[in-house]
């Protein structure tokens, strides 16, 4: 892995310096198991629509990165090592050093009741590699699949069936390293990803944010380390299949098959452009009020939690 990372880094040094703006647009599709009752399916889709917009955007220019999300956008300045969170609905913003971001996010999580903490402590999460290695051509770019299975085992007893409570199978297709030498936009984004990894320490951030879920944190940091070993490879497609065996066993849903996905979420690159990106993309809009990361997250997550089906 270290040799792979070094090889691509050296290859990037051999080509012209990063000087092009890049815009990536991803389309998200959500599919529910047809066996779900209509009222449950409708509530789930309404809830997911709040947190998973159909289109998301990433933009890169002059060492700055912009990520559009559901209700909150992020602006990353790799030179200053700062992250700015922009609350679109509340017209607020918060700028924080990158090394404090994970603590601010985890600190904004509401304190759980004792009973909820006890249940959380009884849940065991673990991850293991899944068969991968498949290849695909996405937007004319050669990609390779990396797969992972994350399982949550719930508490037993009290009339609950044993076995997994939730099983998530995640497939991530990333651009092959050699493609960064052929496609200018990939080369630019790979370079920006390397800059972001060096400036923002994403592995430490993930570990901090998922400290309550050691299995999830280990799984995601493993994926992040793979990405770093690949020299900041660009994600072209992500597919998440989530099965809820415990619910299927209790209700007979998911077509009677406890391992059948209850929901499938696919995010795929729909457009890649090297057209100029306006400086205003990386600036806080006029009239927005300063706030803290915690204040923004508490208000936005409260709205998400109130959404039907969430």
Q: What are the φ and ψ backbone dihedral angles of 63, each rounded to 5 degrees?
A: 75, 10
Q: Say yes or no to pLDDT of 214 above 50.
A: yes
Segment 162-187, tens digit of pLDDT: 667 888 898 999 998 888 888 989 88
> If DSSP codes are grouped into helix, strand and coil, which group holds residue 270?
strand
Question: Which residue range(s) make up the domain with 136?
Answer: 2-107+122-305
Q: Domain tally for the chain?
A: 1
Segment 97-111, tens digit of pLDDT: 988 887 787 776 666
Instruction: Return the C-alpha torsion angle 226, 229, 233, 237, nearest 10.
Output: -10
Give a yes or no: residue 165 inside a domain: yes
Give a yes or no: residue 113 inside a domain: no
Q: In the predicted model, what is the mean pLDDT of residues 150-159?
A: 71
Give a yes or no: residue 34 inside a domain: yes
Give a yes or no: residue 71 inside a domain: yes
Cβ 120 vs Cβ 215: under 8 Å = no
CA–CA gap between residue 124 and residue 107 (Å, rounded): 23
CATH number at residue 202: 2.50.20.10
Which run of H or E residues covers position 220?
helix 214-229
> If DSSP codes are grouped into helix, strand and coil, which group holds residue 49?
helix
Instruction: Give helix 293-305 / helix 38-51 axis angle, nearest 10°.
Output: 160
The answer to pTM > 0.75 is yes
User: pLDDT value at position 50?
Assistant: 65
Give a yes or no: residue 116 inside a domain: no
Segment 62-76, tens digit of pLDDT: 989 999 977 889 999
CA–CA gap between residue 65 and residue 135 (Å, rounded): 28
Give a yes or no: residue 199 inside a domain: yes
Cβ 285 vs Cβ 275: under 8 Å = no
Give a yes or no: residue 246 inside a domain: yes
User: pLDDT value at position 285?
Assistant: 95
CA atoms within 13 A on the CB side of 217: 16
Give a yes or no: residue 141 inside a domain: yes
């Amino acid at each position: 892995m270290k040799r792979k990372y070094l090889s691509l880094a050296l290859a990037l040094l051999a080509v012209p310096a990063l000087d092009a703006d890049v815009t990536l647009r991803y389309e998200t599709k959500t599919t529910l198991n047809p066996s779900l009752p209509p009222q449950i399916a409708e509530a789930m889709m309404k809830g997911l629509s709040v947190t998973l917009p159909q289109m998301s955007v990433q933009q890169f220019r002059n060492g700055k990165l912009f990520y559009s999300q559901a209700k909150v956008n992020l602006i990353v300045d790799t030179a200053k090592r700062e992250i700015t969170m922009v609350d679109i609905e509340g017209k607020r913003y918060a700028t924080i050093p990158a090394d404090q971001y994970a603590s601010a996010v985890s600190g904004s999580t509401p304190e759980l009741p004792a009973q909820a903490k006890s249940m959380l402590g009884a849940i065991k999460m673990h991850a293991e590699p899944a068969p991968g290695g498949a290849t695909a051509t996405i937007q004319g770019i050669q990609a390779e699949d990396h797969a992972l299975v994350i399982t949550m085992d719930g508490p037993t007893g009290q009339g609950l069936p044993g076995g997994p409570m939730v099983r998530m199978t995640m497939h991530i297709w990333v651009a092959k390293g050699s493609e960064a030498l052929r496609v200018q936009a990939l080369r630019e984004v790979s370079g920006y990803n390397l800059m972001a990894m060096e400036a923002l320490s994403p592995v430490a951030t993930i570990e901090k944010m998922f400290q309550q879920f050691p299995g999830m944190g280990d799984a995601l940091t493993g994926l992040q380390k793979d990405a770093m070993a690949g020299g900041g490879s660009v994600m072209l497609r992500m597919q998440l299949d989530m099965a809820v065996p415990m619910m299927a066993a209790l209700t007979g849903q998911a077509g009677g098959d406890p391992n059948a996905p209850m929901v499938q979420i696919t995010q795929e690159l729909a457009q890649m452009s090297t057209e100029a990106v306006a400086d205003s993309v990386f600036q806080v809009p006029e009239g927005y009020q300063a706030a803290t990361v915690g204040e923004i997250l508490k208000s936005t997550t409260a709205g998400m939690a109130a959404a039907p089906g969430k």
